[in-house]
Amino acid sequence: MRTTSPGNIVSRESGLSVTDDLLRALDASWDGMAVIDVNACAVWCNRILASWVRQVNMPQAWEYLLAPDDRERARAAYRRMLASGIERFEGRLEGRGAKRMLFTLSALGERGFRGALLVAHDTRRTARGSKLEVARLREVNESRTRFVNMAAHEFSTPLTSLRLQTFLLKSGRLGPLESKQLAAADILDRNMERLVKLVQDVLDVARAGADRLVVEKETIDLADVARGAVASLEAAARHKGVQLSLELGASMDVVADSDRLTQVFVNLVQNAIKFTPTGGRVDVRVTSSDGRARIDVVDDGAGLHAEDVPRLFQPFSQGQAGRAQGVTGTGLGLSICQSIIAQHDGRIWCESQGPGRGATFSFDLPLLETDAPRASAPANVVPRRPTHERKELRLV
């Protein structure tokens, strides 16, 4: 009997040949495996099956691997397998007591019947194996998250120093610069700002994947957040020749993280400006109904293919229409927006009539109940630290 795989199995009578590589793969399975030759003899089984069966004496009639009461049914299943190529049936292994298992018989050989493979499937053992696999994958994911966090933080340290030195250069504190030198310093500053944002996006995606995205909630007026975010992007819209407008309803209170919601607003409006051609427009609308605030960012830009919409909020995903126009990005922003909105018990979605017909990105949030005090917040909300406690780096 071979319960390991020291060499190939070759049967001259049947022409059956099972390679050593295949035997190693079968031996590593969570299921019991046996190779059956053309004479219906079991000529090899893996260690799992050998541990389950009371007595194994290879080669032997394969049905003797099963309990006596199930052998006739096994022979009938074998005959059906010869005609169909595969057959499944339930039964018990010899020595397994009352434990019933699912068996699969599969024909081997591409040119005529050369033998068969028996798989004994123990559902309880497979479930344990699945749990171990899930635990292993969870550990791999946590290791990936730790690596991404470490790498992003390692990038942040030299970037902070580079930005400081660039600031000193541009401010003239290290001596006067000529116009070409100032232009070069501006290019350095812009590209370092892009790197800083990329590092922060990578950190946010890693934190969201590990359910560690920090959200500090307080009672805020959503209209104020919208005004501030849109005002910060007016210069960018004018520079591209895109008309940017904001439509606000009445003041609406929500329990939210002002900085994180600003991040969502800025990301959605920036995307709309980026994908809208010169002469187009972007409209931001903030309304409320049925106890929820709704925000729509509407543009008449590149639009989206229908197949792109369901995966837009996945990391590193981008629409085909934008790529066709040469507009690129990391594809991380919308994924981060989705994680932030989910932390606020909200929803985010996108609609488009197709390429070249613009797009609407929307999200909604629960409004603070009107009978609740203005300054109160639910017990599970982490209050934001007072402004005077925050430490800021100042260059003097």
Residues 6+ apart with CB under 8 A from 237: 243, 244, 273, 282
Q: Which of the four pLDDT bands, split at 50, 70 and 90, describes residue 322?
A: low
CATH number for the domain formed by residue range(s) 218-389: 3.30.565.10
Across 61-70, 106-115, 239-248, least confident range:
106-115
pLDDT for residue 231 is more than 90: yes
Burial of residue 218 (CB within 10 Å: 0-12, 13-18, 19+) is middle
Residue 372 CA to its chain's centroid (Å)? 37
Residues 6+ apart with CB under 8 A from 325: 275, 302
Model's pTM, two decimal places? 0.52
Break the chain into its structural domains and give their ranges: 9-121, 139-209, 218-389
Of 164, 170, 200, 168, the C-alpha closest to 187 is: 170
Let me know: does 349 contact 362? Beta carbons within 8 Å: yes
pLDDT for residue 248 is more than 80: yes
Alpha-carbon distance of 47 to 64, in angstroms, equals 17
DSSP sequence for 357-383: S-EEEEEEEEPPPTTS-TT---TTPPP
pLDDT in tens, 106-133: 888 755 677 889 998 876 655 555 566 6
Summarize the confidence of residues 33-41 as an average pLDDT: 89
| Domain at 9-121: CATH architecture | 2-Layer Sandwich (3.30)
Let me know: does 256 contact 378? Beta carbons within 8 Å: no
Q: What is the pLDDT of residue 239?
A: 92
When computed from its CA atoms, the radius of gyration of the chain, rounded to whole angstroms, is 33
The residue with greater pLDDT, 9 or 336, is 336
Residues 6+ apart with CB under 8 A from 117: 33, 34, 35, 36, 105, 106, 108
Of 259, 229, 249, 335, the C-alpha closest to 292 is: 249
Alpha-carbon distance of 189 to 197, in angstroms, equals 12
